[in-house]
Amino acid sequence: MDNNRTENVEKQEVQTDGTARIHLRPHHGVCLLNFRGEGYSDEFSRNMTAMKERLTANPEEQICITKGADDLCAKCPNRRENACSSEHPPLFDENVLRMTGFSYGQVLTWSEFSHATEPISLYRLEEACPGCEWLSLCRKIAADRISQTFQSLPGKLPV
């Protein structure tokens, strides 16, 4: 497992079957589910949008849970070599690992990863990402996602 990744979305690890494996930090499984186009910079947002679209279109794509900078960090202005200038992301990563039972180096599909991080992205943001600068935006997006889910249910909900 290579924890010193410097590649971006266009330069991912190629597998023997010709497919690329995406490397993601654990907390980015939560971020991707609540991402709606806002980010640290335009370049970062474009990279995040491309990754979200790719994974949404290919839910069986393999990802590797990565410690340190990943394929999303490649375009982040807060990146400092294989780390972040903020002390928060490693804490967020450890929280998500604890909450999902996953571990660094684990390979699974985006479908499996997002299924495990979905409840966190909706109901456990404060526990997973305390002190995150995006927390208030994520809470709003999560509330909108929950509301849309209930609105799509047939019939009326009990009062």
Given a cut of 80, whether residue 158 has pLDDT beyond it is no
Given a cut of 70, whether residue 104 has pLDDT beyond it is yes
2 SS3 class:
coil
Kindly report the pTM of this predicted structure. 0.79
Element at 14 (helix H, strand E): strand 13-14
Q: Are 3 and 82 in contact (CB under 8 A)?
A: yes
Given a cut of 90, whether residue 151 has pLDDT beyond it is no
Confidence of residue 8 (pLDDT cuts 50, 70, 90): very low
Per the listing, tokens 């010709």 go with: 18
Given a cut of 50, whether residue 120 has pLDDT beyond it is yes
Rounded to an integer, the average pLDDT of 53-66 is 95
User: What's the pLDDT at 35?
Assistant: 92
